[in-house]
Amino acid sequence: MQRRKTDLLVIGAGSGGLSVAAGAAQMGVRVILLEPGEMGGDCLNHGCVPSKALIASAQRAFRMSHASAFGVASVEPQVDYAAVQDHVAESIARIAPMDSQERFEGFGVEVIREAGRFLSPTEVQAGAHVITARRIVIATGSRPRIPPIPGLSDVPYLTNETLWQLRERPRHLLVIGGGPIGLEMAQAHRRLGCDVTVIEAGRALSREDPEMAAVVLEELRTEGVALHEEHAVEKVTQTADSIEVTAGGLRHSGSHLLVAVGRAPVLDALGLGKGKVDTTAAGITVDEGLRTSNRRVYAIGDVAGGPQFTHVAGYHAGLVVRNALFGLPVKVKPQILPRATYTSPEIAQVGLTEAEARHQYGDKVEIVRLPYQHNDRAIAQRQSAGLLKVMVVKGRPVGASIVGQQAGELIGLWALALSARLKMSDIAGMVVPYPTIGELNKRLAGTYFSPRLFENETVKKVTRAVQRWLP
């Protein structure tokens, strides 16, 4: 065994681990990074990048078949599913150099392509290396959760990790799970010409505001996705030429099965007990500064048991660098973390939903609503199905829900508003190019002030008085 010492040991080369390693190394800290699998982690190789590439292909196919409303003849797209997967692979390949071992070694990071396992609270074994570190960051991410469904282990099924290996287009894709991954892939495959059935044990998009989720689910049904909510899967079987899923008393038959019922933190083989690192079923237990029960060890990203998003891992990484390198106090602020689901229309959220805001603030909260149908750009693009809803307390937004075209882009402004504690007057005072979807944010802020200005008799009296005195 080779014994090594370092200032910072990072376990996992996903988005969070890479951000910590790069930031620390460029500040002169000795960093060792452990990764037994692919650099870039799930986001690059199995999640965000490939799914958005597939969605982009599906959008092109959908536009071809729905062009007549714009005065262009609709045509039935000829989908080459293998070529679609080539596009997915090319997208990954173009981004991969940014996450490569060579790039991070250029920053001064020592990369060891081995898994890490705690031997003690300060020692981690990685292959032939035993590493002692002053600080350790666990960033091992998550993997698809596989539910204990009778018969599932006996049939071939897909997850977000294996879907990208398909070369033939599924004839009929069965999807277990009505969350973001399940619905994104369901709609994309429907637009690529597959029959698609989604089976969800509870309510689809259950984390989202029901009013906003309903807009997405209606569109999916309109496009031909068979969506069965409140249908718990009872068993899965395989016949000579199909896979059958029995749920809610119904039997669904398809050619392929995608399991998308959430993700589980990667904790096994880490030896966390020897590291004195406590865990729960949700992940590693951390305090508000992302420290574990072992004060030398941090956990970030999916493995920390919170929201499982790439941007959250990046946010965690920035906090850990500040604390581990400079001793600065840090605190995770869950209320400023946005999320988005990239169906069409998109759905996005930051801060409190309407129900959460009413529960927390009662009569003090104001709900400001603005439909997309009032936006000129959305009308011109025939994408006016959508809604903005912002929850306001004492002139400051405390949450925003958006469903519609570019919801994932629009939510960024409200994430900034919550992070910087901006007032609605700050949003109303900005100038936005016309015509853009982004005007919706400014117009919603104007909607908040309209009754205060135009329906207030005192304001009208003051205005008339001032007019009499003006030259």
Supply φ then ψ for residue 36, to 5 degrees. Answer: -85, -20
Residue 116 labelled as part of a binding site: yes
The pairing of beta strand 396-404 with beta strand 346-351: antiparallel
Question: Beta-strand (E) ranges in 113-178?
Answer: 117-118, 123-126, 129-138, 142-144, 172-176
Tell me how far apart the alpha carbons of residues 209 and 299 are, in angstroms, rounded to a whole number: 30
Residue 262 labelled as part of a binding site: yes
Count of beta carbons in the 10 Å neighbourhood of residue 343: 23
Residue 183 labelled as part of a binding site: yes
Residue 37 labelled as part of a binding site: no
DSSP calls for 268-285: TTS-TTTTT--EETTEE-
Question: Beta-strand (E) ranges in 394-439?
Answer: 396-404
- Could you tell me the sign of the dihedral formed by the alpha carbons of 131, 136, 141, 143, in that order? positive
Residue 47 labelled as part of a binding site: no
Token pair, residue 413, equals 């402004």
Residue 97 labelled as part of a binding site: no
Tell me how far apart the alpha carbons of residues 416 and 69 are, in angstroms, rounded to a whole number: 37
Residue 184 labelled as part of a binding site: yes
| Eight-class DSSP state of 109 | P
Residue 366 labelled as part of a binding site: no
| Residue 112 near residue 6, CB atoms below 8 Å | no
- Could you tell me the sign of the dihedral formed by the alpha carbons of 406, 348, 23, 130, in that order? negative
Token pair, residue 296, equals 């030398």
Residue 200 labelled as part of a binding site: yes
Tell me how far apart the alpha carbons of residues 394 and 205 are, in angstroms, rounded to a whole number: 30
Tell me how far apart the alpha carbons of residues 182 and 34 are, in angstroms, rounded to a whole number: 31
| Residue 407 near residue 350, CB atoms below 8 Å | no
Residue 65 labelled as part of a binding site: no
Helices (DSSP H) in 12-47: which residue ranges? 15-25, 41-45
Residue 141 labelled as part of a binding site: yes
Tell me how far apart the alpha carbons of residues 164 and 82 are, in angstroms, rounded to a whole number: 10
Residue 36 labelled as part of a binding site: no
Tell me how far apart the alpha carbons of residues 245 and 257 are, in angstroms, rounded to a whole number: 9
Provide CB contacts within 8 A for 291, sequence distance 6+.
297, 298, 323
Residue 314 labelled as part of a binding site: no
Give the residue ranges of the annotated binding site for FAD: 52, 116, 140-142, 302
Give the residue ranges of the annotated binding site: 52, 116, 140-142, 177-184, 200, 262, 302
Give the residue ranges of the annotated binding site for NAD(+): 177-184, 200, 262
